[in-house]
Chain A
Amino acid sequence: MSSAAQQTLTTMGSEEEFRLTIAEYLESLPAQFIRRVFSNPAACLAIFRLLSTVGKQLIISMLYLDGPLGLHEMHQWAKPNHQRTVKAKIHQLRKLQILVEEEEKKKKENGTAEVVVSLNTVFRTQLRNALTGGGDFGSFGIVYRGPRDPRITQSWLARYAAERWESILHFMVGQSADVAPPSESVRGILKMSRLMDEGKPAAHGENENDNEDVNEAGSRGGLRITNSGFQFLLQDPVSQVWTVLLQYLRLAEMQDMDVVEVLNFLFQLVSLQPGQQYSTEALTRNQRRMLSELCDFGLLYLDGVAKRFYPTHLITSLTSGGSSAAATAATAAGSKTPGTASSTATAAAAAGGGGGGEMAVPSEAGYIILETNCRIYAYTSSPLQIAILNLFAHLVNRFPNFVTGALTRESIRGAISHGITADQIITFLTTNAHPQMHGKMPVLPTTVTDQVRLWERERNRLHPVHAHFYKDFNHKQEFER
Chain B
Amino acid sequence: MVKAVKGVFVECDPATREVLLKLNEKDKFIIEDLDKTHLFINSTHLDRVKWALDELMNENYYKKEQPK
B residues touching A (Cβ–Cβ < 8 Å)?
1-13, 16, 31-32, 40, 43, 46, 49-51, 53-54, 57, 61, 63, 66
Closest chain B residue, CB of each to CB of A417: B54
Subset of 14 A-B contacts with CB under 8 Å: A409-B63, A459-B54, A462-B10, A462-B49, A463-B11, A464-B8, A465-B9, A467-B6, A468-B6, A469-B32, A469-B40, A470-B5, A471-B3, A471-B5
Interface residues of A in 459-481 (CB under 8 A from B): 459, 461-474, 478
- A472 to B3: give the CA distance in the assembly, Å: 6
List A residues 415-448 near B (Cβ within 8 Å): none
How would you classify the secondary structure of chain B's contact residues: helix, strand, loop or mixed?
mixed
Residues of A within 8 A of B63 (CB): 409
A458 at the interface (CB under 8 A from B): yes
Q: Which residues of A have CB within 8 Å of B3?
A: 470-472
The interface size of chain A toward B, counting residues with CB under 8 Å, comes to 21
B1 CB contacts on chain A under 8 angstroms: 472, 474
Q: Contact at A467–B7, with CB atoms within 8 Å?
A: yes
B44, chain A: closest CB distance, angstroms: 12
Given A461-B53, A462-B12: A470 and B46 within 8 A (CB)? no
In the complex, what's the smallest C-beta–C-beta distance from A202 to chain B, in angstroms?
A: 13
A106 at the interface (CB under 8 A from B): no
Chain A residue numbers with a CB within 8 Å of B46 are 464
Q: Is the CB of B2 within 8 A of A462?
A: no
* Distance to closest chain A CB from B47 (angstroms): 9
Q: Which residue of chain A is the closest to B41 with respect to CB atoms?
A: A464
Complexed CA–CA distance, A37 and B39 (Å): 54
Chain B contacts for A465, CB-based, 8 A:
8-11
- The answer for the CA separation of A264 and B8 in the assembled complex, in Å, is 49
What CA separation (Å) do A415 and B9 show in the bound complex? 27
**Bound Cα distance from A469 to B9, whole angstroms:** 9
How far apart are B53's CB and chain A's nearest CB, in angstroms?
A: 7
**A376–chain B nearest beta-carbon distance, Å:** 15
* Distance A409 CA – B64 CA, assembled complex (angstroms): 11
Shortest CB-to-CB span from B36 to chain A, Å, is 14
Interface positions of A from 270 to 322, Cβ below 8 Å from B? none
Of chain B, the residue at the smallest CB distance from A203 is B47
Identify 18 new A-B residue pairs, CB closer than 8 A, beyond the known A463-B11, A464-B8, A474-B1.
A461-B12, A462-B10, A462-B49, A462-B50, A465-B9, A465-B11, A466-B7, A468-B6, A469-B4, A469-B5, A469-B6, A469-B31, A470-B3, A471-B2, A471-B5, A471-B32, A472-B1, A478-B2
Contacts of A471 in B (CB 8 A): 2-3, 5, 32
A462–B53 CB distance below 8 A: yes
Render A391-410 as a binary contact track against B, CB cut-off 8 A, 1 for contact.
00000100000000000010
- A461-B53, A462-B16 as given contacts; A470 in contact with B2, CB under 8 Å: yes
CA distance A357 to B66 in the complex (A): 44
A204 at the B interface (CB under 8 A): yes
List residues of chain A with CB within 8 A of the CB of B40: 467, 469
User: What 0/1 pattern do residues 349 to 362 of A give for CB contact below 8 A with B?
Assistant: 00000000000000
- Contact yes or no, A467 B8, CB < 8 A: yes
3 closest A-B pairs by CB: A467-B9, A463-B11, A469-B5
Give every chain B residue within 8 A of A458 (Cβ-Cβ). 57
